[in-house]
Amino acid sequence: MSAFCSFSVILSQFVPPVSQAKRTVIRLLRARTGVRLYPYIHIGPLTLGTYGLLVAIGLVCAFFVLRADFARRGVSADAEAIIGITGLAGLAGSRLYHLLESPAEFFADPWHLLFSTMGFAFFGAVIGGFIALLLLAWRFRMKPLLMLDAASPAAALGYGIGRIGCLLSGDGDYGIPTSLPWGMSFPNGIVPTTERVHPTPIYEFLVALLIFWILWRLGAHGLRTHASYGIVFSAYLVLTGIARFLVEIIRINPRSFYGLTNAQAASVVSILAGIILFVSVRHTSSAPRRA
């Protein structure tokens, strides 16, 4: 798992000079919100981006969840290899999806942007991870929907932990300005703001924990009732789609598709795909309790 730390956001931080008045505003905002960000952790000559570090921690936690899910299903498969390969595929997919959201900018300077450590998209990670899991299901001779069911709770938990990395680094994933008491400012983040804004990574982390719990319980219920494969994965698609669609309402991403952000448009597709999958598998023959 230590290999995932190499994907940490390791950047040199440039802090432009600010006036005394701005310094005063920043101090007041920090005092009001209690926010202290850690975009990077310095250990001697080593610099680790907190986002990359939390992604690595999320993958480790996902490994333990997947291993436990395999155990309760009686599945004999290498959970560590599956999480490692799926994690790498997810990172690659999230990066490519983010770049292709702005194709003109990407093709103007493809090599520099391709290997930049800035910019990842959630649904790109879903697509990359989905493809990897299908290939791994074939490799381990598992039914594809069984693999996707088992991986869904792990994916939800890993994503939520990764969002804490977004919060700690202040990478611009925050929401619109707010006067709510839990609003935060990110004056020393990678993408700074001195306004109090919605801390959307916290919202997503809490919702991801709830989705993880629901999916885990749904999997346990499916084992008791011999439910068909695909139920848990369809719930994952619907729940994560709804969660992302709603949080985008208060995020600062540009609108591009019938007034929706790119993530909201992808969320609609995810929700519809989950509903279609659920309808198609719920009346099929029951899966055996042990794989």
pLDDT tens track for 100-110 = 766 666 555 66
Average pLDDT over residues 166-195: 84
Residue-wise pLDDT for 45-95, tens only, equals 777 778 788 888 999 999 999 999 999 999 989 999 999 999 888 888 877
Residue 289 lies in a domain: no
Query: Which residues, 6 or more positions from 108, have their beta carbon under 8 angstroms from its beta carbon?
Result: none
Could you tell me which residue, 14 or 20, shows the higher pLDDT? 20
> Which pLDDT does position 33 carry in this prediction?
47
Could you tell me which residue, 25 or 206, shows the higher pLDDT? 206
> Structural domain of residue 94, as residue ranges?
2-281
**pLDDT of 174 higher than 60:** yes
Residue 291 lies in a domain: no
Average pLDDT over residues 142-155: 95
Handedness of CA 39, 43, 48, 53 (dihedral sign): negative
Residue 154 lies in a domain: yes
Residue 287 lies in a domain: no
Residue 150 lies in a domain: yes
Average pLDDT over residues 153-168: 91
Distance, CA of 239 to CA of 76 (rounded, Å)? 28
> Which pLDDT does position 204 carry in this prediction?
95
Question: What tokens were used for 124?
Answer: 């790109």
Our CA angle for 169, 170, 174, nearest 5°, is 140
Residue 99 lies in a domain: yes
Residue 124 lies in a domain: yes
> Which pLDDT does position 17 carry in this prediction?
37
Distance, CA of 190 to CA of 7 (rounded, Å)? 16
Residue 273 lies in a domain: yes
Domain count, the chain: 1
- Look up the pTM and report it: 0.79
> Which pLDDT does position 2 carry in this prediction?
39
